[in-house]
Structure 1
């Protein structure tokens, strides 16, 4: 695995490391190096060397640094020179760049290959509203690649189905899309389909190269029964509630597993862990899904360890019973 050094003036490197973990999960071989006001270049150089020493001797190193020409860059560059055949430095560090670096390590084992890939991610992460202020002419987007069975009936592939009250947000748009590689993200919800503002926000949040849609549950059921217009497409489905997922599955959407990401707390619900809240209807819905043969993968991001859904449901039921 390529080791990553985040280096910055002040605490920026430590902060962006924490932000990246919130979105992509805990990461191995990532070190943050901060250059504080009371330190000199020699202190910074030692911090960098100490961080590198935490990696394996044969690991390649990728430096992600805040500013070209600043002290963190200069000191990293002095170390890089002895390894420039394999190591790499990228400056202008931002969160989209860091998330892309984490995702790239899943399929790339060269620091320089990752570095070259990160340039576009860093630039694409800079957006503006109103869009009319962006005077840069962008090249036409390339069509998403299709598989060899493109155009064949019955070929819509479900790469992930997730219950998440937040729907399309950072963890979905980055980590899950990188690990499942969908061509379409489909929010399946009657309530969201009636809300033009939420629909527009979801479409704007889609990552580059992936189309986002918001459709009612009955429409998803119809598509599942006759998907001849979606040959070669890979779909990531998002449900706001387990009840919506149950209705879709019992209506004919062929899902055998649900990823459980988050369920927001509201009055009358209990919260047996940090991100999942249940009322009695939710618990009964999950039990019915189990009876229907659906398995549960309880993880916020792919790097997390899956939790035991039966244990979570039992704890939620006990807490509800205790309220009576």
Structure 2
């Protein structure tokens, strides 16, 4: 099973962890690392490296971070650059993280990345447009031959 490490600023990771637990239940090989104000970026990277080792069963590790270019992303990127079988997605949302827990067993690491990127984009919706589409009146059907 692919190991997953979620990280982000302040309580992003632990907040997502609470939500994922409510949706998917307790998960093995899944850790949540917050980057809090009292932490240096070197300390963050050390925590991320330790977490990656704990969740790695040999099928790879996927880092999921909050902001592309933020410290959690940058430090996970450094790990990806010097560690085999590690991938990183930045800018994740709850549907991506929850689905990562469901989809990772039996998946290849690159395949999981593609699946999560598809899910992430498809979950964003303009709810006003969705509501307007549902509330739009049905077009009247005309049967010219009387049937």
TM-score interval (norm. to shorter) = 0.7 to 0.9
Check 1:124–1:65 CA distance in 2 against 1; reply closer, same or farther (3 A cut). same
Quote the Cα distance in structure 2 between the aligned partners of 1:58 and 1:80.
Answer: 15
1:322 is matched with: none
2:67 is matched with: 67
2:120 is matched with: 122
Check 1:57–1:82 CA distance in 2 against 1; reply closer, same or farther (3 A cut). farther
Check 1:111–1:39 CA distance in 2 against 1; reply closer, same or farther (3 A cut). same
Q: Secondary structure at the match of 1:130?
A: helix
Post-superposition shift, 1:42?
Answer: 0.8
Matches within 5 A, 1:124-143: 124-131=122-129
Matches within 5 A, 1:210-289: none
Number of matched pairs: 133
Post-superposition shift, 1:37?
Answer: 1.1
> Segments of 4+ in structure 1 off by > 4 A?
none
Q: Secondary structure at the match of 1:19?
A: helix
Are 1:92 and 2:91 matched, yes or no?
Answer: yes
2:102 is matched with: 103
Post-superposition shift, 1:116?
Answer: 1.3
1:169 is matched with: none
Q: Secondary structure at the match of 1:100?
A: helix
Post-superposition shift, 1:58?
Answer: 2.3
Q: Secondary structure at the match of 2:114?
A: helix
Residues 6 and 65 in structure 1, CA contact (< 8 A), matched pair in contact too: yes
1:79 is matched with: 79
Check 1:120–1:46 CA distance in 2 against 1; reply closer, same or farther (3 A cut). same
Post-superposition shift, 1:105?
Answer: 1.3
CA displacement 1:176-234 (0-9 Å, x = unmatched): xxxxxxxxxxxxxxxxxxxxxxxx8xxxxxxxxxxxxxxxxxxxxxxxxxxxxxxxxxx
Residues 7 and 13 in structure 2, CA contact (< 8 A), matched pair in contact too: yes
Residues 87 and 112 in structure 1, CA contact (< 8 A), matched pair in contact too: no
CA displacement 1:74-120 (0-9 Å, x = unmatched): 11011101235x32111111111112212211341x22210111111
Query: CA RMSD of the aligned region, Å?
Result: 2.1
Q: Secondary structure at the match of 2:31?
A: strand
In the alignment, structure 1 segments of 5+ residues that lack a partner are 134-199, 201-324
1:15 is matched with: 15
Post-superposition shift, 1:57?
Answer: 5.6
Quote the Cα distance in structure 2 between the aligned partners of 1:23 and 1:59.
Answer: 24
Q: Secondary structure at the match of 1:37?
A: coil
Are 1:46 and 2:46 matched, yes or no?
Answer: yes
